[in-house]
Structure 1
Amino acid sequence: MSNLDRQAAVTVCGGRGFVVAEPVRELLSPRRVQLGGSTEVRRLLPNLGRRMVGAWAFVDHYGPDDIADEPGMQVPPHPHMGLQTVSWLHEGEVLHRDSVGSLQTVRPRELGLMTSGRAISHSEESPKSHARFLHGAQLWVALPDAHRQVEPHFQHHADLPTVTAPGLTATVILGTLDGTVSPGTAYSPLTGADLSLTRGTRTRLPLEPDFEYAVLSMSGEAEVDGVPVLPGSMLYLGCGRSELPLHAQSDAGLMLLGGEPFEEEIVMWWNFVGRTHEEIEEARRGWMEGSRFGEVHGYDGARLPAPALPPAPLKPRGRTR
């Protein structure tokens, strides 16, 4: 998934000094961004008030969109480095192509996990023959320094483990939840889970007190720790929780995101995660010159040019503005 902003902003984040060490209830509102074709996304991270949740550094929620007579998602080839992309669908399908030769259609409740490592490029599109509705989330996970030069690769997992309780099914997308581990490769301690709740459910989800967490509402009406969270919004929860109260007023879908606070300070610009201005500058030059990131074969269209870098040097600093 790409950040298609033509005036790409610099985001500086990371460092434990800015983590909220106690439980909080901080409701984050989205920014609307056009993502090519007929897809508009609601961007929750990075946000004016919050840049990361554990290693989760980018969250877009989109749909449900009626694309029966539309092309749907059309994201041309573009580069990534220093991160993982997570594709997660509730409705529809997305065709993934990348520069290491992957060709995979990702369907609802299947994990599409791309690890960029040192460099990769990919495209994402709705297949020509596609379902009427498109609804999902696209997320990035920042890679820690020890792993950000790994060989780029793509993983697809159609069968994911679940944690269940009366009225709740939690699908473990990435990392761990209540001792259940996703088959997707994670490079730092984290949690990504899809929560399906039936109407009237009241339950408590076990959490790790050392993790920080947030909950993204995908659909329906639910309260998270007593706070109503509407679809397309996200509630930041801080750290220090051993459980999370949930109450569904209707059938509801949520995403739980969490992890150990990301200790390193990073620079995020356009589709790159690095540590210095020079790294970002070098990556942009490599993409524009057609080197380093490889080639995506089979996409019918031109690749995405990089926007201009801001005039001031990019500097890493803390997690909140």
Structure 2
Amino acid sequence: MGDSYPVIKAAVVHAASEFLDREKSTDKACRLIEEAGAQGAQLIAFPESFIPGYPFWIWTHTPTRGAPLFAEFFANSVELDSDCVRRIGAAARKAGAYVVMGVTERDGGTLYNSQLYFSDTGELIGRHRKLQPTHVERTVWGRGDGKDVVVLDTAIGKLGGLICWEHTMDLARYALTSMGEQIHIAAWPGISALTHDPNSGFFNDVTASAARHHALAGQTFVLNVQSCVNEQVIEKLGLQGQEDMIRVGGGWSAIIGPNGLFVAGPHTETETILYGDLDMQQIVYIKYICDSAGHYARPDVLRLLTNFDAQPVAEQVGEPSSGLPADFKSAKPQREESPDGEGTVSGG
């Protein structure tokens, strides 16, 4: 009979965060996971930095004006060993679905733009940090490294993802293709809200082109998921009535097949959950035409070198010490009796 190919029901969450509030954003994420799970979704994808929200002020404020917002952003960011992560895992387990959650991750004094991957049993099974924050994003986020190039082999297929402008990094995309990616989560913010004219189309057109091209070039399903902007964001930024800078709405979300055609969407402007069936056999038909990391590759001419190593800021050789010579013997303070019988301490 041969192998059979499953059909996976996927969900894309096009929604605004509870801006700069980790706990309320987590509450909302859990509600949306529950809703999508009740509709039978086996895979649920969220936008870039859904918890605690995308730092839109980096495009609208000077660094000085944005500093208080960054402080709030930092305080509401997500650590891996945290109640936030455990709650998302519990929601995934209850829904019986894989979940890919966009977060701003805090590690020490640095923030990272990350995607967290949860299994349908609620386990945190993977993390991708954005390799290179884009433009002024470098004022709030650090860089990922080789360990953040991730494709996870799961019961529903091989899952990978990239964040926003990483989709212009052709070598990063090809690295995922060479690792056998079958379902790609493309997470973005609703940057199209940073324009007065919702029909101007530039950022949405860029997103659509990037997502559809990766689907065909990588022979993978693409879950393109973006956030949108609500009044809460604009109020927090202090930009009410300044639609020339930021407006309500935005975003472009869709599910795209490996042939580059739409499975669901696209959807813009308002909050919704898109659903689509991923017929994994479709990948076979596109691989027949162009298996980009297989029979359609030319490694004798073009080959990719991928470094999966972490790049730590410090490397330890030997054991840490006090800085004193190894044979140094500290003089112990001597205890003497004072005339009144009280003990005193003197140097040796």
For Structure 1 versus Structure 2, the TM-score category normalised by the shorter chain is 0.3 to 0.5
How does the TM-score come out when normalised to structure 1?
0.33
Q: Which has the higher helix share?
A: 2
How does the TM-score come out when normalised to structure 2?
0.31
